[in-house]
Amino acid sequence: MADFELTSRENHPENTIIEVGGAKIGDGNLCIIAGPCSIESEEQIMRIAKAVKDAGAQMLRGGAFKPRTSPYTFQGLEDDGISYLVKAGHEVGLPVVSEITDASQLRLFDDVDIIQVGAKNMQNFGLLHVLGKTGKPILLKRGFGATYEEVLSSAEHIMAAGNDRVILCERGIRTFETYTRFTFDVSSIPSLKSLTHLPIIADPSHPAGRYELIEPLSLAAVAAGADGLIIEVHDRPDEALCDASQALKPDKFASIVEKAKGVKAAI
């Protein structure tokens, strides 16, 4: 398919493996990324970094630029947030992942190992072109109204601009169901795996919207062939400034990591 020259598996049958600071995504092992929805203070991200490292995470996540639906909610600590995240990652020895919401922020991401493009920006083509000119791996989240072809087209934009280190992420789509925050589309994992050589991870936190659903969604994603998971973890969920209801405590997160490894081994 000419429109998917760089992303299609037809042209590149082997799986792409992305290496970041000692961690690998797509090598056949599960890569677990965990941390809070947003960085709230230097102490908060340091505590959670230690907790997720101890629980078996390979990378630390945390948002400094939050694309919140309401302008009156916490928007992130911006420059300071990135500094605290990078410091916490260095301290515990984990590469870090953070979301960019505008190309003007790129200069702040020099020490961020993976740049996340959020669901709401999946088709921000100007941003994708700028990220295509960086040497950084890009974690591209599926838009909640995007088809598999549209996800792949967005990945193609990044690759066509010169960056072949793209990781796809299923994070749920909008349906008529309102009990969950979004509907986790487990079919996208095997479907995208057959269409593209790029690694695919799953975010069970945002479709669930409820911490008690994160374990079953995580295990379903791994059973469907996900290369990894990105999970929101907070040691004090009651105090979380963003996405509190889906925040998992570190002990529960640790038990999901163990079970997910068991599922991965079983398949």
Instruction: Name the minimum Å distance from CB 31 to ligand PEP.
Output: 16
53 binds, among ligand PEP, Mn ion, none (CB under 5 to 8 A by kind): none
Return the CA Rg of the chain.
Answer: 17
Indicate the residue type of 59.
M
- Pick 8 or 148: Cβ nearer ligand PEP: 148
Q: Is 234 in the site for ligand PEP (CB under 6 A)?
A: no
Report helix angle 250-266 to 42-54, nearest 10: 40
State how far the Cα of 200 lies from the Cα of 15, in Å rounded to an integer.
Answer: 10
Of 39-47, 53-61, 214-222, 242-250, the segment contacting Mn ion by CB under 5 A is: 242-250
Applying the rule CB under 6 A, the residues between 167 and 226 that interact with ligand PEP are 171, 203, 206
DSSP classification of residue 258: H
State how far the Cα of 204 lies from the Cα of 174, in Å rounded to an integer.
Answer: 14
DSSP 3-state of 236: coil
Applying the rule CB under 6 A, the residues between 131 and 160 that interact with ligand PEP are 141
165 binds, among ligand PEP, Mn ion, none (CB under 5 to 8 A by kind): none
Length of the chain: 267
Of 13-21, 118-126, 148-156, 219-227, the segment contacting ligand PEP by CB under 6 A is: 118-126
Q: Which two tokens stand for residue 238?
A: 């009651």
214 touches 230 (CB < 8 A): no
32 touches 229 (CB < 8 A): yes
Instruction: Name the minimum Å distance from CB 119 to ligand PEP.
Output: 4
- Of 182, 185, 175, the closest CA to residue 226 belongs to 185
Instruction: Name the minimum Å distance from CB 14 to ligand PEP.
Output: 28
Instruction: Name the minimum Å distance from CB 229 to ligand PEP.
Output: 12
Q: Is 118 in the site for ligand PEP (CB under 6 A)?
A: yes
Q: Is 243 in the site for Mn ion (CB under 5 A)?
A: yes
Interface positions with ligand PEP (CB under 6 A): 37, 63, 67, 118-120, 141, 171, 203, 206
